[in-house]
Structure 1
Amino acid sequence: MVTERGLQVLRAIVQDYVDTHEPVGSKTIVERHAFGVSAATIRNDMALLEDEELIAAPHTSSGRVPTDKGYRVFVDHLAELRPLTPAQRTAISAFLDGPADLDDVLARTVRALTQLTGQVAIVQYPSFARASVTHVELVSLGSGRMLVIVVTDTGRVSQRIAVVGREFDDEAVARIRTRLSALVVGLSVKTAVARVAEMIAGPPVDARPGESDAVRTIAAVISEELDEFRQDRMLLAGTANLARRESDFRGSIYPLLEAIEEQVTLLRLMSEMVADEHGLATSIGRENEPFGLSEASVLASDYDATRARARVGVLGPTRMDYPQNLAAVRAVARYLTRMLEDDDAAH
């Protein structure tokens, strides 16, 4: 049974090891922390922590380092989120302020988070299966091509070029747009995809000669784009930080690089992590073994987009500054939520 002082010794070991990257001994704890007891007493506390598998000796040195279990106890019971500095909060707003579509906002989000934490930053796209299509726009580009723009009520904007094979005047483009708008605008993404599929599989579209094929071609493009809105996706930034901090990992970083490249594993892990009452979730070291990521820790926070919820977080070695990184993840998630809510209200 670990005493209250023993838990505080664990806190000191975690903090010092993260700061110095050196195993922590009893003498160092006495010198750096005001426990008011002798080094021998601290050694006894450390022995109990070792018995509970919360710390371990990496080699014959007298110092100890936290285990994955020790980091878990620290995060769950001992870590106090460190308030961000005014400079850090200014950095977040500098990255995220300004109108932009969702893709751009999320790209700026991961850049801000990796700059704040020095870790790999991850943001999930919200699943917009329940979003509604609000607008379809067509722009003739010449040479038988048309730019197809689809907007949803969540602020998601898709732009894709459709090859329609012939030129249409402005009136024809307007008629085609009206026909397609009647097909999908006001419907949920899921329903709109189904409506388009029914139209494509059905009899020829009732339209003027030459326009029917264009309607079907563009409708197929709209369906593909809307279907992508429903897919699980994520953005990452800061992968190079893994290479810079390779010495912080006990083993190879290649499984992490593979997970980053494939994304499916990270998406599943991010989705399955259980959040606390503050919307924060952590998965530490060997807790990630089913995902092949036992060398890493993942910290995440929920954020809200219109009609959807997703997560933003960081991936890095188990030896990380959990209070600082959790505070940064939470602050970025809250800022992102407010920004998306304000953008939705403006529309």
Structure 2
Amino acid sequence: MVSERGLQVLRAIVQDYVDTKEPVGSKAIVDRHRFGVSAATIRNDMALLEDEELIAAPHTSSGRVPTDKGYRVFVDHLAELRPLTSAQRSAISSFLEGPVDLDDLLVRTVRSLTRLTGQVAIVQYPSFAQANVSHVEVVHLGATRVVIIVVTDTGRVSQRVVFLPFEPDEIESARLKTAINTLVTGRSVRESAQAIAELLATATAADRHDDGLRVIARIVGEELDEFRQDRMVMAGSATLARREDDFRGSIYPLLAAIEEQVTLLRLMGEMVADDQGLASSIGRENEPFGLSEASVLASDYDVTGSRARVGILGPTRMDYPTNLAAVRAVAHYLSRLLDEDEQAR
């Protein structure tokens, strides 16, 4: 069993290794940290940590580096989140201020987080299956072209330009808009999609208004199906190449996961959060997802009727206290902005 001092030695090893990228020896710990004991005593503590597989020697007669298990103990019991500076908080606030829509806000979110941490930043879209359709706009652009705009009560917006089988006049455009809104407005995304599916399944040849409604309904249905898909936004993928030396093996599995996204969505969804809404998955804990070379840190954020996660992906040798604090802060700002947007509607 590791003593309390031994755990503090582990903390020192993790911190020094993250800072220097060099294996940490007993003399360096005595020089840098005030334990009040000799280097020989620290060596004994390190031997016990090695017996517990919390640290390891990468080379014969070298210092020690944390193992994945060591990082886990550090994150769970020893890491003290470092509060962000006022400048960092101000940067987050200004970067996320005034988004055009949810898509823009989430893009800003990952860009802000990757700037703060230097890691790959990830944010999940909330699930909008339970969101309600606020309204649908049908705007005539000229000739047979119209733009269809679908808006939910959680702030999700989509728009598509389509061609109708005829050129609508002002009265016809208004009729089409009323008909599609009667079909879906006030219903959940799931119920609206079902209503559209039933309309398209039972539709028969009729007047051109019905033809136009079917075209619009099909497009709205496709957009609603898109709302129900699990999606994420990422930024900072280039940081992996710059940090390639921090990975013991190839970074290809990480690049593949970023490309596919399905793996990261599964991993983010299965991570268990603590009472602060923070979750972490470190090194070999990610082996079932083919990401045993990486760590993922995430925090929950809230949006009306749903919850999703924002986080980072990077090497196991990372600044956990600072990165966890950054993830939590960005999640807090994101939740607050979404809540303010909801109250304003």
Q: With structure 1 as the length reference, what TM-score do the two structures score?
A: 0.98
1:322 matched to which residue of 2? 320
| Preserved CA contact (<8 Å) 2:111 2:236 | yes
Gaps of 5+ in 2: none
> Residue deviations 1:244-279, cap 9 Å, x none?
000000100000000000000000000000000100
Distance, in Å, in 1 between the alignment partners of 2:99 and 2:343 is: 13
2:69 matched to which residue of 1? 69
Question: How far apart are 1:78 and its partner, in Å?
Answer: 0.1
Question: How far apart are 1:165 and its partner, in Å?
Answer: 2.9
1:25 matched to which residue of 2? 25
1:11 matched to which residue of 2? 11
- Tell me which of 278, 283, 286 is aligned to 2:284: 286
**Which letter maps to 1:81?**
L
2:216 matched to which residue of 1? 218
Distance, in Å, in 2 between the alignment partners of 1:65 and 1:259 is: 27
Secondary structure, aligned partner of 1:211: helix
The 1:36–1:274 alpha-carbon spacing in structure 2 relative to 1, beyond 3 Å, is: same
Count how many residue pairs are aligned between Structure 1 and Structure 2.
345
Distance, in Å, in 1 between the alignment partners of 2:100 and 2:305 is: 19
Distance, in Å, in 1 between the alignment partners of 2:238 and 2:128 is: 31
| Preserved CA contact (<8 Å) 1:298 1:316 | yes
Question: How far apart are 1:161 and its partner, in Å?
Answer: 1.4
1:129 matched to which residue of 2? 129
User: Residues 104-253 of structure 1: matches in 2 within 5 Å?
Assistant: 104-204=104-204, 209-253=207-251
Question: How far apart are 1:234 and its partner, in Å?
Answer: 0.2
| Preserved CA contact (<8 Å) 1:146 1:162 | yes
Distance, in Å, in 2 between the alignment partners of 1:292 and 1:113 is: 24
| Preserved CA contact (<8 Å) 1:145 1:165 | no
**Which letter maps to 2:117?**
T
Q: With structure 2 as the length reference, what TM-score do the two structures score?
A: 0.99
Q: Kindly indicate whether residue 294 of structure 2 is the aligned counterpart of residue 296 of structure 1.
A: yes
1:265 matched to which residue of 2? 263
**Which letter maps to 2:307?**
R
Distance, in Å, in 2 between the alignment partners of 1:291 and 1:181 is: 43
Secondary structure, aligned partner of 2:208: coil
Secondary structure, aligned partner of 1:134: strand
Question: How far apart are 1:36 and its partner, in Å?
Answer: 0.4
Q: Kindly indicate whether residue 332 of structure 2 is the aligned counterpart of residue 334 of structure 1.
A: yes
| Preserved CA contact (<8 Å) 1:205 1:216 | no
Question: How far apart are 1:205 and its partner, in Å?
Answer: 7.9
Question: How far apart are 1:170 and its partner, in Å?
Answer: 1.3
Distance, in Å, in 2 between the alignment partners of 1:203 and 1:111 is: 46
2:40 matched to which residue of 1? 40
| Preserved CA contact (<8 Å) 2:110 2:122 | yes
| Preserved CA contact (<8 Å) 2:165 2:211 | no
| Preserved CA contact (<8 Å) 1:135 1:181 | yes
Distance, in Å, in 1 between the alignment partners of 2:336 and 2:205 is: 43
Question: How far apart are 1:4 and its partner, in Å?
Answer: 0.2
**Which letter maps to 1:317?**
P
Distance, in Å, in 1 between the alignment partners of 2:306 and 2:204 is: 36
- Tell me which of 269, 275, 283 is aligned to 1:277: 275
Distance, in Å, in 2 between the alignment partners of 1:293 and 1:203 is: 49
Gaps of 5+ in 1: none
Question: How far apart are 1:60 and its partner, in Å?
Answer: 1.6
> Residue deviations 1:66-124, cap 9 Å, x none?
00000000000000000000111011001111142110000000000000000000000
**Which letter maps to 2:196?**
V
- Aligned-residue sequence identity (percent) comes to 74
